[in-house]
Structure 1
Amino acid sequence: MSADVRPSNPFAEPSPLPYGLPPFAECTPAALEAAFEQGMAAQLAEVEAIVATPGPATFDNTLEALERSGRLLRRAQRVFWLLTSADTNPELEALETAYAPRFAVHADEIMLNRRLFDRIDALYAERAQLGLDAEQVRLLERYHTDLSRAGAALDEPSRLHLADLNRQIAECSTAFGTNLLADTNDSAVLFSDVAELDGLGPDAIGAAAEAARQRGLDGYLITLVLPTHQPALESLHEPASRRRLLAAAQSRGSRGNAYDNRDLIRRLAVLRAERAELLGYRSHSDYVLADRTAKDNASVDDMLHRIIPAATANASREAAELAAAKRADGDDAPFEASDWAYYAARVRRDRYAFDASAIRPYVELERVLTDGVFAAATLLYGLGFVVRDDLAGYHPDVVVYEVFDADGSGLGLFVADFFTRDGKRGGAWSESLVPQSRLLGERPVVANNLNVPKPPAGSPALLTQDEVATLFHEFGHALHALFSDVSYPRLSGTAVARDFVEFPSQVNEMWLSWPAVLDGYARHVDDGSPLPPELAAALRNPPTFNQGVETVASLAATWIDLAWHRLTRAEAAAVTDVAEFEARALAEAGLDLDAIPPRYRGPYFNHVFASGYSAGYYSYLWSEVLDADTVEWFREHAGDLRAAGQAFRDALLSRGGTAPELELYDAFRGRPARIEPLLARRGLC
């Protein structure tokens, strides 16, 4: 295929659509491939021009020029990464397989460019005398760190070896994600008799029938979400149905078929450890944490070891209560992991008069979005939202909203894609299509993806309590991107340390139960009646029951990630059995509770083997320390939420990566974060 980027190619110039929204109908695989080829060549030429500039390096001729480079390639890559996650097909998968290693090689040609590093290093040495403003100093520091950690200062043989490792890691990560999507689709559980789904609501059964119909199957198809826990497990009365569903979730990526990920896990562990050693670190985890707010394994362990004993003690008590509830049902069979969610819902309902399934008729997707998520953003930040029917997404399910600031000016675009489909990977995520930058004159375009089962035509999409929380969570990421007010793309929006990026999104979850917000969106889908008082009270003041179990499941996934990525190269090479290795790691940490499966196991742990969270899944708990502390701050300032929201936006959400993240937090809060609010939230103190 020709590599020429013709004027008609949608990536040749910035999109003429509002805010630079990509013209998705024109973003074909052929256009993407052509843009990749010329985009990589163009960026390398731009970098060569930077390093060949006569005279000494300056901020403008080196760093600012570097920030301006690669725009064609980035436009194409952002669309490509969105499509391969949210609406892939065999052509896109073939492109991903072909170009993931080539992108890694291309990035290394820049990040391992010794002449570029020497120019940046010279500026870094003189940074105090350059008259730079604070954001420019931060940009210089970040690039110096980026290239140093990439290995630019290594000798040439080491740089060549490092580039080869990066290429192999990219190939393995891409294969892992492709395998997982295919195996997740194949592992969907088909039930032939509706009686097997006894306990599910009519809307969930309708969604299962629709999923089967879309695949040309007879019966009812329960598609799988990414974590081990499947929402239907809370409601299915039949133990055999629960066992089938949990077994399908846990076996993904390890069924001995063409999509088996176990060899890829072992290979990734070896490759990442070898790369870390080449860069001077004992393990991949040591390498990753050195550039996180946590800084080192000891700090992460200190947090985890403050949580694990209390969490496991609570979980053991909760598991005993759940087993007693099973026996009270007249079922004397041993308590199983597939019983956990079902009996947790039962005990919660009996003890607290709280039935999570009873919430579903009151939380219809469109209303939760407009009268909940958007309404909270209006309450706090004065934002307005308008559907842009004239702007097309990349799939018929996608809706594009224009976001307006409190003064009526256009802030950016929000792209909403909430329904599951075979071409979409599991889970939920946020993705920037156009990061904000004053240097490039760009305003933000950000997409949120969920995986809500699509109801039959004409039926409402009713949510679970977890799906409501996820909707608020992902919009927190969107706000972080939309509020960005920085000069340089490298520091824009969510371009912050991985163990800080979840903090704004976790904070945004608090508004789902804030009375003024909850009363607005929690309305019965048929008659608009408000949520019954007992359900509203339970949402506003959720019991800490089952928090021990939930915390242990999250801790277990965190420990699996750390166990793989704390291995040296020799230790990783010695692992022969993935399941045995992970079981031993959980046992050593005291997290091997039979009835509580980890939130993820290695073969379907997309976060750490196919995304950017390797040695970083701890970030969710780490960020939750900041989150819980900030929730307290908002409650202290509840008398004027609009002013509080503006203060939070100005101090944190608008700043991107323009300063060390914990410095921003400490300045906002007036002190470092305290862990006690998190422990109280999870019933651990």
Structure 2
Amino acid sequence: MMILFSIASSQGASEGTESNPLLMKWNTPHETAPFNSIKTEDFVPAIDVALTEARKDVDAIINNSDPATFQNTIEALEVSGEKLDRVAGVLFNLNSAETNKELQAVAREVSPKLSEFGNYVSLNEDLFKRVKAVYDKRESLDLTAEQAKLLENSYKGFVRRGANLQGEAKKRYAEITTELAQLSLKFGENVLEETNAFELLITDEKDLSGLPEAVREAAEQLAKSKGKEGWMFNLQYPSYLPFMKYADNRELREKMYKAYTSRAFKDNEYNNEETIHKIVNLRLEKANLLGFKSHADYVLSERMAETPEKVNSFLEELHEASKPYAEKEFKEVTDFAKAKGLKGDLQRWDWAYYSEKLKTEKFGFDEEEVKPYFQLEKVREGVFELAHRLYGLNFKENKDIQVYHPDVTAYDVFNEDGSFLSVLYLDFFPRDGKRGGAWMNDFRAQSNINGKMERPIITVVTNFTKPTETKPSLLTFDEVETFLHEFGHSLHGMLANTVYPSMSGTGVYRDFVELPSQIMENWATEKEWLDLFAVHYKTGEKIPAELVHKLIEARNFQSGYLSERQLSFGMDDMAWHSITKPVTDDVISFEQRVMSKMELFPHVEGSCFNTAFSHIFAGGYAAGYYGYKWAEVLDADAFSMFKKNGIFDRATAESFRKNILEKGGTKHPMELYKAFRGQEPTVEALLERSGLKD
């Protein structure tokens, strides 16, 4: 059983479960979810039934009168709760990509039930006794390497989830996990509410000055969809970012910026400050119960980085390398803005605007200039072709697979020999019921227990600009990188070739999980790859070499500033989770104290970064945000192999597939990395690639 510590959703129970589509056998292609039949009211009863069955599975292991063995305890636990995994998988994915008030209510109702079941398993003394009995005789068992790893993971997992706790401590641990699950859910809901609450309606065309035609058109379409005349902008990335980059109206940029940075920080029911305090203090209490001095110590004991000290010194090393460049870049933009007539000091809402203008002037590069070459459908074809050249994969749309929204497309993915590999859903465009950002997830992980191969069902979700009545969806260069990034995660899931689902695909240490995604971004500036698909959507002309050269130059534009920004997020995360006493400071004071050494701007009154920092308070990145930078070191180092041998070199790709993508979490990440690269990674390749090295 891939024991559930994520959160679900729900609503009042429906009658009778015999006809509940979530509980019936799915006679669909590859047993994909029958979305056309699933209703919101199906979830609570389905979860209830699945929980009962999962509990029976666990009880059967506990009550087995035979001595504990790997098969009747460890493996049996791994495969238990299959129906619960399946139903919860649908629920969690919908709650992120296509939610509504009813589904969110479902989430709140089901969340404590799932936490309670998680605690029933992880705090069950009789179950732990059986797991420990197998673990204690591990040396005498004839286990494969993967079985040995599963046994180690199972035992450590129990210990890390409180199995050694007694009496009141065990009871308190269970209360904390349930409360944390609800708080994380609430945090994310508050951010979504606040993101959706703000709309800027422009009725005077002169206020659109500076905005590209495509941005205006999208804004007009958004207004129309809301029954309004004019142009509407909101806080979703495809609307917010272009406005901040291109809008000449400084007052409106300020308004947008302040709306974005004050999310969940206003004096209303969606304020996240108290939620943050509760989350970090409960995480500390939980870590203390388990014998760790901080939540960061607890988390990092199962990471490549190992300790908070190592993470902080890693972040500090990159901070020292980045800061001089960031300061130089800040001065350059300030001087440029003054020369362009800026009155007063450069403010945060000016940064993207003047940076974009400087980039255009410096490199002759304008984001809008490259967008016509990145028509979404063509980019998708290019990404699929890259996967074909590297790994021999082929993609075929399957219209018989049901989808949860008309924007979603489903594909069958095949190996070079024609064998079926995976289902892949692609869900590209923003909508009200969808959280911001981009992510990959699975509805079913790959596994191969007792010769029964289960191929994965993977989903990639983004928030790219929608096509309009007159224009296809054209991506920014950043969005092309985002697509490659999430597709890299999907390859990790699709190419998985492990026995056990809990170690399949992305079931790896959090600071290793970004390597397969971030390495893919390196192809974004390779002319050899771009030539396969990047043609002007009107003329069919290939992307010019000169434009690609500008892209490469512009890619490192302000790399010091951007590096400092990411490092500040990592340091902020580590500070919250390295506390050894409960936090009482208000959130903004804590934030400013930690992040000030990386800041180049004064604080904007009324803004707060942490109240919308979903990665660490509603996602899985607590004491783990540094992992993005950690993975940059890995991916720059790893991609140097492709640069050396050829960007489509099949032997290098095959080695990456066999040693990293297929292996999931079956071995320690450093062991896997060295098997591919032949050595441990160094920061040199990253500093060089980022232009942070003289």
Q: Give the TM-score taking structure 1 as reference length.
A: 0.96
- For the 8 Å contact 2:233–2:239, the answer to whether it is kept is no
Q: Any idea what the Cα deviations from partners look like across 1:206-257, whole Å, max 9, x if unmatched?
A: 1112222222333222232469983432222222232122112111111212
- For the 8 Å contact 1:101–1:167, the answer to whether it is kept is yes
Is 1:454–2:466 an aligned residue pair? yes
Amino acid at match of 2:148: V
Map 1:452-531 to 2 at 5 A: 452-457=464-469, 459-531=471-543
How far is 1:288 from its partner?
Answer: 0.9
SS in 2 for 1:9: coil
Is 1:329–2:336 an aligned residue pair? no
How far is 1:539 from its partner?
Answer: 2.7
Q: Residue 388 of structure 2 corresponds to which residue in structure 1?
A: 378
Q: Residue 7 of structure 2 corresponds to which residue in structure 1?
A: none
Larger deviation, residues 163-172 vs 341-350? 341-350
Map 1:150-189 to 2 at 5 A: 150-189=161-200
Measured in 2, the distance between the counterparts of 1:424 and 1:355 equals: 29
Which residue of 16, 27, 41 corresponds with 1:30?
41
Q: Residue 8 of structure 1 corresponds to which residue in structure 2?
A: 19
Measured in 2, the distance between the counterparts of 1:640 and 1:263 equals: 51
Measured in 1, the distance between the counterparts of 2:461 and 2:602 equals: 31
Is 1:122–2:122 an aligned residue pair? no
How far is 1:182 from its partner?
Answer: 0.9
Gap regions ≥5 residues in structure 1? none
- For the 8 Å contact 2:14–2:42, the answer to whether it is kept is no
SS in 2 for 1:424: coil
Q: Residue 431 of structure 2 corresponds to which residue in structure 1?
A: 421
Q: Any idea what the Cα deviations from partners look like across 1:8-64, whole Å, max 9, x if unmatched?
A: 322325522222211112222222111100111111111111011113111110011
How far is 1:540 from its partner?
Answer: 4.3
- For the 8 Å contact 2:315–2:570, the answer to whether it is kept is no
Q: Any idea what the Cα deviations from partners look like across 1:536-563, whole Å, max 9, x if unmatched?
A: 1123455533001111111111122112
SS in 2 for 1:72: helix
SS in 1 for 2:532: helix
Is 1:684–2:665 an aligned residue pair? no
RMSD across aligned positions (CA): 1.9
Is 1:537–2:545 an aligned residue pair? no
How far is 1:640 from its partner?
Answer: 5.7
Measured in 2, the distance between the counterparts of 1:565 and 1:523 equals: 47
Measured in 2, the distance between the counterparts of 1:424 and 1:76 equals: 19
Q: Residue 435 of structure 1 corresponds to which residue in structure 2?
A: 445
Map 1:594-673 to 2 at 5 A: 594=601, 601-638=609-646, 641-673=649-681
SS in 2 for 1:486: coil
SS in 2 for 1:500: coil
Amino acid at match of 1:609: F
Amino acid at match of 2:632: E
- For the 8 Å contact 2:564–2:598, the answer to whether it is kept is yes
Q: Residue 399 of structure 2 corresponds to which residue in structure 1?
A: 389
SS in 1 for 2:428: strand
Measured in 1, the distance between the counterparts of 2:317 and 2:415 equals: 41
Gap regions ≥5 residues in structure 2? 1-11
Measured in 2, the distance between the counterparts of 1:568 and 1:212 equals: 49
SS in 2 for 1:521: coil
Structure-2 change in CA distance of 1:631 and 1:541 (3 Å) = farther
Map 1:86-485 to 2 at 5 A: 86-225=97-236, 230-370=241-381, 372-439=382-449, 441-457=453-469, 459-485=471-497
Measured in 2, the distance between the counterparts of 1:250 and 1:656 equals: 37
How far is 1:462 from its partner?
Answer: 1.1
Q: Residue 4 of structure 2 corresponds to which residue in structure 1?
A: none
SS in 1 for 2:109: helix
Larger deviation, residues 103-112 vs 76-85? 103-112
Q: Any idea what the Cα deviations from partners look like across 1:173-228, whole Å, max 9, x if unmatched?
A: 11111111111011243323232222222111111122222223332222324699
Q: Residue 62 of structure 2 corresponds to which residue in structure 1?
A: 51
SS in 2 for 1:463: coil
SS in 1 for 2:453: coil
Which residue of 562, 570, 594 corresponds with 1:585?
594
Structure-2 change in CA distance of 1:230 and 1:437 (3 Å) = same
How far is 1:159 from its partner?
Answer: 1.1
Amino acid at match of 1:529: E
Measured in 1, the distance between the counterparts of 2:491 and 2:87 equals: 23
Structure-2 change in CA distance of 1:258 and 1:635 (3 Å) = same
Measured in 2, the distance between the counterparts of 1:312 and 1:331 equals: 25
- For the 8 Å contact 1:3–1:37, the answer to whether it is kept is no
Measured in 2, the distance between the counterparts of 1:274 and 1:2 equals: 35
* Count of matched residue pairs: 678
How far is 1:533 from its partner?
Answer: 2.7
How far is 1:454 from its partner?
Answer: 2.1
How far is 1:529 from its partner?
Answer: 1.1
How far is 1:674 from its partner?
Answer: 1.0
Structure-2 change in CA distance of 1:322 and 1:228 (3 Å) = farther
Amino acid at match of 1:507: I
Measured in 2, the distance between the counterparts of 1:5 and 1:295 equals: 49
Identity %, equivalent residues:
38
Is 1:67–2:74 an aligned residue pair? no
